[in-house]
Amino acid sequence: VHVHELPTPALVIDADALDRNLAAMSSRLPAARLRPHVKAHKCTALAAAQQAAGHDTFTCATPREVIGLAAAGVGTDLLLANETVDRDRLRAMADCDAPVTIAIDSDDTLRAAIDAGIRSCLIDVNVGLPRCGVEPDRAGGLADRARSAGLDVRGVMGYEGHLMMVADRTERAAAVEASMAKLRAAHADVGGDIVSAGGTGTFDLHASTGVTEVQAGSYALMDTHYGSLGLPFEQALFVIGTVISVAADWAVADVGLKSLGMDHGDPSVLDGAVWFCSDEHVTFAPDRPGVRVGDRVTVVPAHVDPTMAMHEVVWLMRDGELIDRWPIDLRHW
């Protein structure tokens, strides 16, 4: 089947580009140096491809991602790099066949973990992003209380998400180093083997920060947001649309904000300039005249994670032919 026979909007992966991205990352951060973040794709089959590239440890943002990977037998060490006090979901994670570690940043999240039978945790440290994470000077105390309560405290994590898009690489490196100094200080008090941090924008800036594993996820499929940084990864994810209306100066395709993550701005289209998106439409100025109703358009998302989460399946494409169909099976919470 050819990609142009798919009903649209259709989510499509360029299989060769994905393979090159996985290889580019695993050559730089082999095996457990990378703990791939599955939030970026929510797809067990893609996680299995990351495992085939040498990575057995995974980062998750939701209990659903942890439980789904464990049920599929993908990964030997699953981290929920996020806080939850949902007792049922914590219990379901404690019952997983794979070893599960969860992030805690408070006595409330510690207590919820203990009550549900969770055995391992990381202390989540605030390294500058105003989101989750205990203040660095309180990490040691929380770790002591976690150990007294019977948890295995494996180390620390701290996500420097506010630094991913610092445009200048030298400035980004300096900011990451300052941020990771906080994580090192916390780790000195907490102990354990793991210092987990980083993302696609900072994946190559952790050689001497003390970080033992990088949590990148977007690198596998990429988006135009990260594409602007000049990273050694290429665009592998596209939404295919159909032109449904043509005017003198613009054309409209059936790919709107309900099939695209828009929080990082408008998508791009190959062979045209996007004017705007609405629910089910992208209006764009074609680069060349002659665009007709029924033509196919390739749309490039600005943000990979929410785009994946909006679709039930993603098609694998090689030379325009569809070679596989992967369920996006780790969606929801």
Ligand X SMILES: Cc1ncc(COP(=O)(O)O)c(C=O)c1O
Question: Footprint of ligand X on this chain (CB under 6 A)?
Answer: 37, 40, 59, 81, 159, 161, 164, 199-201, 215-219
CA dihedral for 221, 224, 230, 234, sign (positive or negative):
positive
- Closest separation between CB of residue 305 and ligand X, Å? 6
Nearer to ligand X, 169 or 318 (CB): 169
Q: Which residue is nearest to ligand X (CB)?
A: 199
Give CA angle at 234 (223, 160), nearest 5°.
Answer: 55
- Closest separation between CB of residue 274 and ligand X, Å? 22
- Closest separation between CB of residue 325 and ligand X, Å? 24
89, 66 Cβ separation under 8 angstroms: no
Nearer to ligand X, 116 or 127 (CB): 127
Tell me the three state secondary structure of residue 120.
Answer: strand
Task: For residue 300, give the nearest of 242, 243, 248, 235 by alpha carbon.
Answer: 235
Paired with 186 in beta bridges are none
Nearer to ligand X, 195 or 251 (CB): 195
Task: For residue 265, give the nearest of 232, 307, 237 by alpha carbon.
Answer: 307
Task: For residue 299, give the nearest of 257, 277, 267 by alpha carbon.
Answer: 267
Nearer to ligand X, 105 or 266 (CB): 105
Paired with 158 in beta bridges are 197
129, 102 Cβ separation under 8 angstroms: no
Rounded Cα gap, residues 190 and 78, in angstroms = 20
Nearer to ligand X, 9 or 217 (CB): 217
Rounded Cα gap, residues 78 and 56, in angstroms = 9
Residue 279 corresponds to which tokens in the numbers above? 């629910």
- Closest separation between CB of residue 2 and ligand X, Å? 31
Q: 5 Cβ partners below 8 Å, 6+ apart? A: none
- Closest separation between CB of residue 281 and ligand X, Å? 27
Burial of 163 (0-12, 13-18, 19+ CB in 10 A): buried
- Closest separation between CB of residue 266 and ligand X, Å? 19
Nearer to ligand X, 192 or 199 (CB): 199
Nearer to ligand X, 219 or 284 (CB): 219
Q: 224 Cβ partners below 8 Å, 6+ apart? A: 235, 264, 267, 268, 300, 301, 302
For the chain, the distance separating the N- and C-terminal CA atoms, rounded to the nearest angstrom, is 33
- Closest separation between CB of residue 310 and ligand X, Å? 16
- Closest separation between CB of residue 324 and ligand X, Å? 23
Nearer to ligand X, 297 or 328 (CB): 328
